[in-house]
Structure 1
């Protein structure tokens, strides 16, 4: 369970979050966050990860209060796909190995075979494994990150707006499968197809 309760956050003199943006996402549920440009969608995800403190209110994960002390520990259970990726100049293979052998993921004992099996299920060409990160389209990098979150079975999944090149139906199928496997999922999108596929919704501002 991922909860934000009575939040209040003002940045640059503008109120981005207020108590009516409170919500709870339970295991097996997908919540869609909508809003116009600059409405605070990415900021909300940062709040849920403990990277942006609230002025008032709190974030709770299964009864554990997320604060500056607990956030690093609780983020181990979170998978995050940003809208824009600033990744190092290395190969996809190196990036994946670093991800799998991080202390937080080491207990899963995963290797390349597990990742490639997930890629086959998601239609990702294994040729990307040897490509340099800078040569992989942004949408595909996001799709690869979703595959890593899926294979490591993160408890909380946060997905910012993704590149228009990605197939919405495939993305929703992947997120739905993660939710069915017990994840609480929060996805940012103004796409009506995505919106209609989510059980819960939070609007940060009016959208068309």
Structure 2
């Protein structure tokens, strides 16, 4: 694995008077998949929003490739190379597959080379470029959401429960895609509730509890019956 690409240092954040993140610290390196697991309300999605600059920090900092990004306005964060695939996909439903990808490409001024690389990862999307995106299946929409984020050529990719609500064949496809991304060097933070998926793609698993990372373990050292899953995820 390469150098540390994203470093989150003791961040505090929340919504108005409600403090959600309490000194949360983590780091993820080039070509690494860090999977975050924890119960609902532990602060996982809030963390991704804080990294993207969508909610202000009240303490700590976020560094991307050695540069502090937590002081930037939210629209600048994707331009620095952080891609977010939010829970529920949030595509432009009335736009075609090609138009959705174009939105991603425009963010960092990327062109045909990047588009072609992304479509190589997702051949199914290449066959559906002119299709209106809300008419795609759930799994195809998730592919498109990931593909759009990859059009940024991100240094860091944030995935918020990408397998949620998908059928097993699509879950396998998303899992394989996350694995393929490792080879491109992108640093990935994956929020995932499925233990089997987490164990099959993650290099390390971070367990989030009460707005902090309570424990980080090498995925290879864990099994589905590891006590951490019971303690922090409740499966």
Q: Same fold (TM over 0.5)?
A: yes
Describe the shift of the 1:29–1:64 C-alpha distance in structure 2 as closer, same or farther (beyond 3 A): same
Tell whether the 8 Å contact from 1:81 to 1:158 is kept in structure 2 after alignment: yes
TM-score normalized by the length of structure 1: 0.82
Specify the SS of the correspondent of 1:67.
coil
Describe the shift of the 1:96–1:164 C-alpha distance in structure 2 as closer, same or farther (beyond 3 A): same
Match of 1:182 in 2: 185
Q: State the 1:182 CA deviation.
A: 1.2
Q: State the 1:199 CA deviation.
A: 1.9
Number of aligned residues = 202
Q: 2:113 aligns with which of 93, 106, 110?
A: 110
Match of 1:95 in 2: 100
Describe the shift of the 1:169–1:157 C-alpha distance in structure 2 as closer, same or farther (beyond 3 A): same
Q: State the 1:68 CA deviation.
A: 3.6
Specify the SS of the correspondent of 1:18.
strand
Distance 1:66 1:23 in 2: 15
Match of 1:26 in 2: 29
Higher RCO, Cα 8 Å, sep 6+: 1
Match of 1:6 in 2: 10
For structure 1, which segment, 109-118 or 136-145, has the greater mean C-alpha deviation from structure 2 after superposition? 109-118
Match of 2:212 in 1: none
Unaligned runs of at least 5 residues, structure 1: none
Q: State the 1:12 CA deviation.
A: 5.9
Tell whether the 8 Å contact from 1:153 to 1:178 is kept in structure 2 after alignment: no
Structure 1 segments of 4 or more deviating over 6 A?
Answer: none
Whether 2:65 is the aligned partner of 1:62: answer yes
Unaligned runs of at least 5 residues, structure 2: 210-231
TM-score normalized by the length of structure 2: 0.74
